[in-house]
Chain A
Amino acid sequence: MGNIRLIARLDIKGPNLIKGIHLEGLRVIGSPNEHALRYYLEGIDELIYMDCVASLYGRNHLGSIVSKAAKDIFVPMTVGGGIRSVEDVADILRAGADKVAVNTAAVGEPKLISSIARRFGSQCMVLSIEAKQVATECWEVYTNNGRERTGLDVIEWAKKGVANGAGEILLTSVDREGTRKGFDVSLVKAVSDEVSVPVIASGGMGEPEDLLAVISEGSADAVAMADILHYKRASIPDIRRIAANAGLGVRHYE
């Protein structure tokens, strides 16, 4: 495999960077772009902007935030939350995003995945999956930022998404999200083993060492990190060094 990717995830409500627990109880942290620029300068590999109230209101409000960020941040940016149509994708790409993450609308209309992949390429279409464990080795897909159950099995849905043209999977454990208890390694492994495309593990990174298990045992290709970075519990250079010392391939950055 290639180098693992260290990704900063910025959950956004209105103009603010926020953080919750289990995607709920959102607290304001500050300016999203101040954080994004700091992460870029520290050597983050990618950024994910997630409008976490968008699917509730039916539209994504991140255009202006992303277009400001794109002026001085030159790493890939994924934008998600409330993306419902090919036109929404065109708008957000025009603002400066490189990829879109789609969850709720794709569950409602799986053909949206292939429409986006055909028009903009698979590399642009990230399938975002919010997963809650329902039994041993069994997880259910949730939508609307972890609020609504769908009855879909996570592994089956991931496979279907990839067959439809998703180029990457952003896999968020709602159970672990914001808890700092470490990633749901079995969830990530169950999905990563079944799909041919890269999987980004999201939710639960409490300390830098948490990423070691989800990469080596969970076969994740990338990790999304939020409050560990927002609250400066660890810096990106520290995380990179800990991963490298454990023998994981990481991007060389100086």
Chain B
Amino acid sequence: MNNSEVTVIDYGVGNLLSVQRGLEYCGAKVVLTNDSEKILSAKRVVLPGVGAFANAMQALESLELVAVIHELALRKTPLLGICLGMQLLLEESDEFGVTAGLGLIPGRVVAIPDYTLSGDKQKIPHIGWSALQMSESVTSWKKTLLEDNRPGEAVYFVHSFMANPTDPAHRVADVLYGGNKVAAIISRENITGCQFHPEKSGQVGLKILRKFCVE
């Protein structure tokens, strides 16, 4: 157990309960809020989200949270984006026309190929458990949220779009879907994005959340 506090940005996009329960299981005290002051003074922040990219950006803008999140990046507050919350960290997304994102990690969000590497049609969304592998640019998961995890451990995905960071050095872990590489964890300084749902990935995912809680 630990006494860490985690602030989860509540901007009306998706189901925050599972994230909250997962973090609490890891011993965190969870604050759900969309209040700028509370978010800025937080020790660590989770940006959750499911659904459409453009709606989520619109929600963040109307709550005037875009500048707040940029400020978190400058203050080096640990920030974890989960699923759509991860995709929002990038510069722009192709989902339903091009939409600008938060731009905290260079790169764009693109559709998952609907063909496998060997040319067979494949199902979209990608739903299910895939094994984490180390991205080519990294030699170790030390000092990342995956420090307590091992390559081969599987986590739960549900998504139709994927993040493509411009700089391969920002990729920490990938998975294969139909042979195509999909970014699972991306990271830049204090900012981490997690395409899968650690709160729905059993003990493997809880290890990642626990790591974030003591970061």
Which chain A residues have a beta carbon within 8 Å of chain B's beta carbons? 1-5, 40, 43, 45, 70-72, 74-76, 93-94, 96, 98, 120-124, 167-168, 196-198, 221-222, 251-253
| B185 → A minimal CB distance (Å) | 17
A75–B156 CB distance below 8 A: yes
Which residues of chain A have C-beta atoms less than 8 A from B201's C-beta? 74-75
Q: Given the known A-B contacts A1-B178, A74-B202, A252-B131, are A197 and B51 also in contact in the complex, defined by CB atoms under 8 Å?
A: no
Which of these, A1, A76, A94, A252, contacts B123 with CB under 8 Å?
A1
Q: Mark B105-127, 1 if CB is under 8 A from A, else 0.
A: 00000000010100010111111
Within 8 A of A (CB), among B45-95: 50-52
A123–B125 CB distance below 8 A: yes
B129–A3 CB distance below 8 A: yes
B123–A93 CB distance below 8 A: no
A75–B202 CB distance below 8 A: yes
Q: Which residue of A lies closest to B197 (CB)?
A: A76
| A5 → B minimal CB distance (Å) | 5
| B120 → A minimal CB distance (Å) | 8
Which residues of chain B have C-beta atoms less than 8 A from A93's C-beta? 15, 17
Which of these, B52, B116, B157, B205, contacts A1 with CB under 8 Å?
B116
A252–B114 CB distance below 8 A: no
Q: How far is the CA of A72 from the CA of B24 in the complex (A)?
A: 11
A123–B129 CB distance below 8 A: no
Asked if B41 CB lies within 8 Å of chain A CBs, one says no
| A241 → B minimal CB distance (Å) | 15
Extra 14 A-B pairs, beta carbons < 8 Å, given A2-B157, A74-B200: A1-B120, A1-B178, A2-B126, A74-B199, A74-B201, A74-B206, A76-B158, A76-B197, A120-B14, A120-B15, A123-B159, A168-B127, A197-B123, A253-B154
Which residues of chain A have C-beta atoms less than 8 A from B206's C-beta? 74
Within 8 A of A (CB), among B1-29: 14-15, 17-18, 21-22, 25
**Sample of 12 A–B contacts (CB below 8 Å):** A43-B202, A74-B22, A74-B200, A123-B50, A123-B125, A123-B158, A196-B114, A197-B123, A251-B154, A252-B129, A252-B152, A253-B202
The 8 A-B pairs of least Cβ separation, nearest first, read A251-B129, A121-B51, A251-B154, A123-B158, A121-B50, A2-B128, A198-B123, A252-B154
